[in-house]
């Protein structure tokens, strides 16, 4: 029996999934972040190495596929490849940006587009020729249009304009200060420019804007529409650059922004249909970590159909794999946040 290790390394956590060649998930480890931009290169390597070693415990796999945040350039991928190769845990190593494994999970390794809109926003695409490209994802200062942060920023600006008399009156004048526990929109503006500013807290305002839009606030509705159009614009750029306008393919929407569905999803759908009429907007079939497993299985020559996909998506298996045992231990200064495992027969057992 051959084994595959899929790794989803992000700015908040690193998820490892160990699977056999039949697609059965045997172990799941969630540990600390492995994005150098978040925790520094040294800590990122430490977290990634320990996550892999904790998952495998000396076992070697046929393929390890890693989707890592921060791997944006060929030299980034090469550096990560060399690091993992020194661990001597796999016969074959695949290193991609985490957006690529998200796409693979969303479409089961088929050509398509994935639009990720959470705190930030980025779009990845893959065409029939195997060509890949991306759009957006340039950070909250220069980009990430359509993200949770962008929606929050637009909402605050709209409220300030209403306060000044430069814009239409809006319920956001009251809702935004309430969210931040501030007395007024002016206090919110001062917080944005202060040293206490937190990106995640700012992005967390997005559902408040969505709620106001649902309640009929025209200003909030326009904020949501503009965000959706920006996400569609980025998706359209990827589609055009990959010459997919006339193709049939799936566009997977992922991230907290799309969980709101409603106005943002309907506007996004209508906009992308103008560019690619035969495309289909979906929610991902599998997680990014599962996407890494799927890429590893494909590299190993396993056909991604039938029993393999059923095993990966099996309710029985996934429930057990998600039954995480909180482990507050530390190994080499790394806290293993969650562990769960299944033996090859499918029986659940704690990893202690």
Per-residue pLDDT tens over the stretch 115-129:
988 888 889 999 999
Q: Would you state the pLDDT for residue 38?
A: 66
Chain segment 216-228, per-residue pLDDT in tens: 999 999 999 999 9
Q: Would you state the pLDDT for residue 238?
A: 97
Q: What percent of the chain has pLDDT over 70?
A: 89
The arithmetic mean of pLDDT across residues 12-38, rounded, is 85
Structure token digits, residue 20: 């056999």
Domain with CATH 3.30.420.40 in the chain: 3-108+286-349, 110-284
Please check the confidence at residue 344 and state whether its pLDDT lies above 50. Answer: no
The arithmetic mean of pLDDT across residues 191-210, rounded, is 91
Q: Would you state the pLDDT for residue 347?
A: 41
Nearest to 76 by CA among 95, 92, 94, 89: 95
Please check the confidence at residue 319 and state whether its pLDDT lies above 60. Answer: no
Please check the confidence at residue 351 and state whether its pLDDT lies above 60. Answer: no
Residue 287 near residue 116, CB atoms below 8 Å: no
Neighbours of 155 (CB within 10 A): 28
| Choices 3.30.420.40, 3.30.2270.10, 3.40.50.410, 2.60.120.10: CATH for 3-108+286-349 | 3.30.420.40
Q: Exposure string (b/e) for 52-87, b if CB count within 10 Å is 16 or more?
A: bbbbbeeeebbbbbbbbbbbeeeeebebbeebbeee
The arithmetic mean of pLDDT across residues 293-304, rounded, is 92
Chain segment 123-175, per-residue pLDDT in tens: 999 999 989 899 998 888 888 899 999 999 999 999 999 999 999 999 999 99
The arithmetic mean of pLDDT across residues 76-104, rounded, is 89
What's the whole-number average pLDDT of the chain?
A: 85
Please check the confidence at residue 322 and state whether its pLDDT lies above 80. Answer: no
313 pLDDT band, cuts 50/70/90, is confident
Please check the confidence at residue 333 and state whether its pLDDT lies above 50. Answer: no
Please check the confidence at residue 240 and state whether its pLDDT lies above 60. Answer: yes
Q: Would you state the pLDDT for residue 236?
A: 96
C-alpha count within 13 angstroms, C-beta hemisphere, residue 65: 29
What is the tally of helices (H) and strands (E) in the chain?
15, 15
Q: Is the dihedral of CA 9, 15, 96, 18 positive or negative?
A: positive
Q: Would you state the pLDDT for residue 59?
A: 85
The arithmetic mean of pLDDT across residues 191-195, rounded, is 93
Please check the confidence at residue 329 and state whether its pLDDT lies above 70. Answer: no
Q: Taking the chain, what is the end-to-end CA distance rounded to the nearest angstrom?
A: 25
pTM score, whole prediction: 0.78
Please check the confidence at residue 93 and state whether its pLDDT lies above 90. Answer: yes
Q: Would you state the pLDDT for residue 314?
A: 72
Q: Would you state the pLDDT for residue 325?
A: 33
Nearest to 225 by CA among 170, 294, 174, 155: 155
Which distant-in-sequence residues (6+ apart) come within 8 Å of 127 by Cβ? 111, 242, 243, 244, 247
Q: Is 90 exposed, middle or buried (0-12, 13-18, 19+ CB in 10 A)?
A: buried
Backbone angles phi, psi at 212, to 5 degrees: -65, -40
CATH number for the domain formed by residue range(s) 110-284: 3.30.420.40
Please check the confidence at residue 339 and state whether its pLDDT lies above 60. Answer: no
Chain segment 278-288, per-residue pLDDT in tens: 999 999 989 89
d(CA 307, CA 21): 11
d(CA 18, CA 309): 15
Q: Would you state the pLDDT for residue 57?
A: 86
Q: Is 159 exposed, middle or buried (0-12, 13-18, 19+ CB in 10 A)?
A: buried
113 pLDDT band, cuts 50/70/90, is very high
């Amino acid at each position: 029996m051959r084994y595959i290790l899929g790794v989803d390394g992000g700015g908040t956590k690193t998820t490892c999934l160990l699977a056999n060649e039949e697609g059965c998930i045997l172990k799941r480890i969630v540990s600390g972040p492995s994005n150098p931009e978040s925790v520094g290169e040294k800590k990122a390597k430490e977290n990634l190495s320990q996550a892999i070693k904790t998952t495998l415990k000396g076992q070697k796999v046929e393929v390890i596929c890693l989707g890592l945040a921060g791997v944006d350039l060929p030299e980034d991928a090469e550096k990560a490849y060399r690091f993992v190769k020194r661990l001597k845990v796999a016969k074959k190593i695949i290193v991609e940006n985490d957006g690529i494994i998200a796409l693979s999970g969303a479409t089961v390794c088929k050509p398509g587009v994935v639009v990720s809109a959470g705190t930030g926003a980025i779009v990845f695409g893959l065409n029939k020729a195997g060509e890949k490209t991306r759009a957006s994802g340039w950070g909250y200062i220069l980009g990430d249009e359509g993200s949770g942060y962008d929606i929050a920023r637009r909402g605050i600006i709209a409220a300030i304009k209403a306060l000044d008399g430069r814009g239409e009156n809006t319920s956001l004048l009251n809702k935004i200060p309430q969210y931040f526990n501030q007395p007024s929109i002016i206090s919110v503006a001062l917080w944005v420019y202060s040293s206490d500013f937190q990106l995640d807290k700012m992005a967390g305002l997005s559902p408040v804007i969505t709620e106001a839009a649902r309640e009929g606030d025209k200003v909030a509705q326009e904020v949501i529409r503009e965000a959706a159009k920006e996400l569609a614009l980025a998706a359209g750029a990827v589609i055009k650059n990959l010459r997919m306008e006339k193709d049939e393919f799936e566009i997977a929407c992922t991230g907290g922004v799309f969980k709101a569905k409603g106005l943002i999803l309907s506007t996004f759908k209508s906009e992308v249909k103008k560019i690619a009429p035969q495309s289909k907007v979906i929610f991902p079939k599998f997680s990014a970590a599962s996407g890494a497993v799927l890429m590893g299985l494909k590299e190993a020559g396993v056909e991604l159909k039938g029993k393999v996909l059923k095993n990966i998506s099996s309710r029985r298996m996934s429930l057990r794999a998600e039954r995480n045992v909180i482990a507050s231990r530390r190994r080499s200064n790394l806290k293993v946040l969650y562990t769960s495992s299944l033996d090859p027969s499918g029986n659940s057992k704690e990893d202690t």
